[in-house]
Structure 1
Amino acid sequence: MLPVEKYTQFIKQRTRELGFDYCGIAKAEQLDEDAYRLEQWLNKGMHGNMQYMENYFDKRIDPRKLVDNAQSVITLLLNYYPPEQQTEGAPKIAKYAYGKDYHEVIRARLNQLLSEMSEQIGEIHGRGFVDSAPVLERSWAKRSGLGWIGKNGNLIHKQAGSFFFIATLIVDVPLLYDPITGDYCGSCTRCLDACPTGALTAPTVVDGSRCISYFTIELKDQLIPDKMKGQFEDWMFGCDICQDVCPWNRFAKPHNDLDFTPVPEVLNFSTKQWEEMTEEEFKKIFRQSPLKRSKYAGIRRNLKFIKP
């Protein structure tokens, strides 16, 4: 077996053992088509107040500017579809935020994988990323053969849907690369039709500045514009509408990852309980949760906005 085959086999086996559901690998190179689309998206102001999206443009489109002599981009998918759903009538929270903050969970696993790769392969250089650096994760997932970009802008895996965290590991080692899959959205427009704020302006184009997730998470220390009143359908933190209506998510299966066990309060708190919660209680209950990103003040703002 050639070293490239041996190393690739080791990586794919080890990622499964670390709890990742899927692993795909692509050659590290500049993303020319994605560069054009990103530039157009930014020029149209679809990133809203997310100024950080304008930074490090060159690094976003070329992994070789993030890791010297980068050869391969390893993309990993981790299922977060919850085994339990929220109580009917509770303020809605995006499913990815039911359990622990995925950044910390996945970063630890990436670091472990990189360390074990160094032991197995020899001295290598690499960096792991999980939604916290200038990396176009979905583009690399597509290039790695893990699915296609759906009309809702999410990566869709043909056998498992779209409820996945995406992690990226860029390394200076050549590996075997996976073939790209096709696009299987067909003529379906359920996600575009279902978006209450019209954030899905065209297939695969998400106007971030009109997305419920943007208003409830990214728009910090500001009031939500009155013109959006009545359009949030009780979503207090994030939004899953465009994924919930996607036919491919009929294949989504509940995860069994203990790190993402739903926080009981996320599932069961009523609007009244959310409103009566103190800041001290919020910090204690959600100290390891993605909800801390909006902070106590942000959650109260969102609650007030979605209240009839």
Structure 2
Amino acid sequence: MCVDAKSFFASDELGYEKCGIIPIQEMDGYAEKLEERIQKVPASEKFYQGQRRLLNLQISYPWAKSVVVLARRYGRYKIPQPVKGQIAKSYLLDLRADPELKEYKSSQAMDQYLQSLGLQVATNRKCGIVGLRWAAMQAGLGVIRRNNFFYAQSGSWVALEAWLTDKEMELRETSDLPPCPKGCNRCVVACPTRSLSEPYTMLPTTCVSFLTTFGGRNLPKEPLSKAFGRCIYGCDICQDVCPMNKGRWQENEDFPGLSELAPTLTPESILEMDEDYYKEKIQPKFFYLSSDELWKWKVNVLCFMRNNYQKEYKSYIIAACENENIKVQEMARAIRDEWGLSNGNTSTALIEY
């Protein structure tokens, strides 16, 4: 069954940039690519075990026959200066967690619309129900580039969503995006931890985004933490340096609530943040860390302070040495000892630095 985009749904009205539908059998190639990636980097196998939930879809959903996949541009929002370059843009502008966002509501509207057509559907709004980048590429919505990110016309700054349906349908676009420039390896060279060791592959467990979000449970003893630069939560470096992203981010709109929240996400504010504020305001938005993991944010911030030291940070580091969380203590004390900080004196080396 071939479907005309306009007659199937008005995705433009719901804020989507691209839409497509593929037979579910075309997701078989995702399994092949996953195994290929594991073979190239065997150390990644443990991490990718979680992705296996996206394989063998017709066992979990025996009724499923098609995949509806949509791309939504988020690279149009203003990033407040206090968090710019410190918290990854996709996390600051996460469209999946806040039911009050217009994008969240339009996603729900899409779900309702598909069901109103008499379709049986399934989705996973937060984590995806299929290999989203693979599905989007198969539907012709764009390409996957050497940094492993999916790119549409607006660059890699797009959020992908997908639904399984019980009807045989097909709707494809033809991508006219050019390939990565010949010989370009900017993303590989720029990767601070060398997680991206060569094009189209990586070791996820050494990625800054992994180590500062749901991974990196022992940063005080993580040698790679000294390469995090200005990253506190997530990392955009391989996307920011990509020439195919040049000029694609245009800060035209305010993201609801972000300008008010940003001052509470500075390094100093995070170290002083209490549990109640974290649970109410921060954790629901940055859901990769649980409601009892404010300590992880504080460790990340201490790591930032070490890597970007200013004399104003000294009192925060010293105070964190007595934090009630052992990991926060451990990180702060390691920095104190490394830099020769004390309550009374700061080392000459630190001052010169």
TM above 0.5, yes or no, is yes
| CA shift for structure 1 position 82 | 5.2
Query: 1:25–1:74: 8 Å Cα contact kept in structure 2?
Result: yes
Q: 2:23 aligns with which of 16, 19, 27?
A: 27
**Structure 2 residue 198 is matched with structure 1 residue 198:** no
What is the match of residue 335 of structure 2? none
What is the match of residue 307 of structure 1? 305
From the two aligned structures, give the one with the greater strand fraction: 1
Write the letter of the residue equivalent to 2:146: K
Q: Distance in 2 between matches of 1:176 and 1:283?
A: 43
Q: Distance in 1 between matches of 2:254 and 2:269?
A: 28
Query: 1:236–1:303: 8 Å Cα contact kept in structure 2?
Result: yes
What is the match of residue 312 of structure 2? none
| CA shift for structure 1 position 176 | 3.3
Q: List alignment gaps of at least 5 residues for structure 1.
A: none
What is the match of residue 280 of structure 2? 284
| Aligned residues with identical type, % of pairs | 21
What is the match of residue 172 of structure 2? 178
1:230 alignment partner, SS class: helix
What is the match of residue 297 of structure 1? 295
Structural RMSD (CA): 3.0
Alignment of 1:1-308 (within 5 A): 4-5=2-3, 8-13=5-10, 15-42=11-38, 44-46=42-44, 50=47, 53-55=48-50, 57=52, 60-81=54-75, 83-87=77-81, 92-99=86-93, 102-103=96-97, 105=99, 109-119=106-116, 121=117, 123-133=118-128, 135-157=130-152, 159-179=153-173, 181=175, 184-187=179-182, 188-219=184-215, 221-223=217-219, 225-249=221-245, 250-254=247-251, 256=253, 261-266=257-262, 269-290=265-286, 293=289, 295-308=293-306
Q: Greater RCO between the two (CA within 8 Å, min separation 6)?
A: 1
| CA shift for structure 1 position 99 | 4.2
Q: List alignment gaps of at least 5 residues for structure 2.
A: 307-353
Deviations along 1:284-308, one digit per CA (max 9) or x if unpaired, are 3325312562631110111122222
Query: 2:212–2:300: 8 Å Cα contact kept in structure 1?
Result: yes
- What TM-score, normalized by structure 1, do the two folds share? 0.83
Write the letter of the residue equivalent to 1:113: M
1:74 alignment partner, SS class: strand
Q: Distance in 1 between matches of 2:122 and 2:59?
A: 11
Q: Distance in 2 between matches of 1:220 and 1:245?
A: 24
What is the match of residue 346 of structure 2? none
Write the letter of the residue equivalent to 1:124: L
| CA shift for structure 1 position 66 | 4.0
Larger radius of gyration: 2
Q: Distance in 2 between matches of 1:277 and 1:268?
A: 8
Query: 1:199–1:208: 8 Å Cα contact kept in structure 2?
Result: yes
Q: How has the CA–CA distance of structure 1 residues 127 and 111 changed in structure 2, closer, same or farther, with 3 Å as cutoff?
A: farther
Write the letter of the residue equivalent to 2:297: I
Write the letter of the residue equivalent to 2:67: V
Q: Distance in 1 between matches of 2:254 and 2:96?
A: 11
Q: How has the CA–CA distance of structure 1 residues 140 and 98 changed in structure 2, closer, same or farther, with 3 Å as cutoff?
A: same
| CA shift for structure 1 position 209 | 1.1
| CA shift for structure 1 position 27 | 2.0
Query: 1:11–1:117: 8 Å Cα contact kept in structure 2?
Result: no
- What TM-score, normalized by structure 2, do the two folds share? 0.73
| CA shift for structure 1 position 112 | 2.8
Aligned length: 296
| CA shift for structure 1 position 214 | 0.6
